[in-house]
């Protein structure tokens, strides 16, 4: 096994990595944190890093016993995939007549700058209830409340998700800044907390690649600084517990 494979394979096993002493600040590579590395997936059907995928599978089985079908809409996402999402949204907003500032503001209501998505880590997942009929966009907050199709899923997750290590980063808390409320997005805390800790040691102005990114001239240091504080760290307190 070459060194590269060894790093990623070990990521899946978690615990204290062997190379932790050599890199005391970050047990993860910069590539891995930015969604540019290869991740060892749990299974094709569960696109999450091994430990997170295993925990998700357990949770899925428990939910199924109570009639809730946890279906993954999105799990691990690469830098390139996030870049394609960003550029598609930017072009669509531009066609609607939005200025570059309005455009970026609109995108970051729900989507991240490539290189800053929690989905890059293989620890975060967007889910719906697969037993319900799908009509139009599924990742809509209202659908998880009141008479929406995913209300039972939300209720089950509220009662059980934390037992399996899964937490909502983008809560409904009005004091939270950054991304809007996402009742479908869960993060596997036992892994994502340490990934975030490593992530905070990165200098985003140096590592973020804005080449080929729509609106990149407006992504200056001031923007990145606010985005870091409000969006990247604008998550539930439990997931910043390091
Ligand atoms: Zn998500």
Partner residues linked to 71 by β-bridges: 128
CA of 5 to the centre of ligand 1 (A): 27
Q: Using CB atoms within 10 Å of the CB of residue 25, give its burial: 0 to 12 exposed, 13 to 18 middle, 19+ buried.
A: exposed
CATH of the domain at 187: 3.30.1380.10
What does the radius of gyration of the chain's CA atoms come to, in whole angstroms? 18
* Number of domains into which the chain is organized: 1
Q: How many CA atoms lie within 13 A of 147 on its CB side?
A: 0
Concatenated DSSP letters for 121-174? GT-EEEEEETTSPP-S-S--GGGGSTTSTTHHHHHHHHHHGGGGTEE-SS-S-T
Residue 7 to residue 18: CA distance in whole angstroms: 9
Q: What is the pLDDT along the chain (242 residues), one digit of tens a residue?
A: 333 333 343 344 444 444 444 445 567 999 999 999 888 889 888 999 999 999 999 999 999 999 999 999 999 999 999 999 999 999 999 999 999 999 999 999 999 999 999 999 999 999 999 999 999 999 999 999 999 999 999 999 999 999 999 999 999 999 999 999 999 999 999 999 999 999 999 999 999 988 899 999 999 999 999 999 999 999 999 999 88
φ, ψ dihedrals at 110, nearest 5°: -130, -20
How far is the centre of ligand 1, averaged over its atoms, from the C-alpha of 124 (Å)?
A: 7
Question: Distance between CA atoms of 233 and 74, rounded to whole angstroms?
Answer: 21
Cα(74) to ligand 1 centroid in Å equals 7
**185 CA distance to ligand 1 middle (Å):** 5
Query: Is 47 strand, coil or helix?
Result: coil
Q: What residues does 187 pair with on adjacent strands?
A: 124, 167
Report d(CA 194, CA 176) in Å as an integer. Answer: 21
Quote the ligand 1 centre to 186 CA distance (angstroms).
Answer: 7
Centroid of ligand 1 to alpha carbon of 172 (angstroms) = 15
Q: Residue 163 belongs to what domain range?
A: 3-240
d(CA 187, CA 193): 9
Residue ranges with CB less than 5 Å from ion ligand 1: 126, 185
- CA of 73 from ligand 1 middle (Å) equals 9
Nearest to 192 by CA among 6, 87, 21, 56: 56
């Amino acid at each position: 096994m070459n060194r590269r494979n060894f790093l990623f394979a070990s990521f899946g096993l978690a615990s204290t990595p062997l190379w932790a002493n050599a890199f005391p600040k970050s047990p993860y590579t910069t590539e891995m944190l930015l969604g540019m590395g290869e991740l060892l997936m749990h299974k094709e059907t569960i696109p999450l890093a091994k430990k997170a995928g295993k925990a998700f599978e357990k949770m899925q089985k428990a939910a199924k016993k109570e009639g809730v079908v946890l279906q993954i809409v999105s799990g691990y996402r690469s830098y390139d995939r996030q870049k394609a999402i960003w550029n598609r949204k930017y072009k669509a907003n531009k066609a609607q007549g939005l200025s570059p500032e309005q455009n970026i503001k609109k995108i970051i209501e729900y989507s991240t700058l490539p290189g800053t998505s929690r989905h890059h880590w293989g620890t975060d997942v967007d889910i719906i209830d697969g037993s319900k009929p799908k009509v139009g966009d599924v990742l809509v907050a209202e659908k998880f409340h009141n008479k929406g199709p995913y209300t039972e899923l939300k209720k089950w997750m509220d009662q059980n998700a934390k037992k399996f290590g899964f937490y909502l980063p983008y809560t409904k808390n009005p004091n939270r800044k950054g991304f809007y409320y996402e009742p479908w997005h869960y993060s596997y805390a036992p892994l994502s907390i340490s990934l975030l800790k490593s992530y905070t040691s990165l200098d985003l102005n140096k590592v973020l690649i804005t080449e080929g990114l729509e609106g990149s001239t407006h992504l200056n240091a001031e923007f990145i600084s606010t985005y870091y504080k409000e969006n990247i760290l604008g998550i539930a307190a439990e997931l910043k517990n390091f």
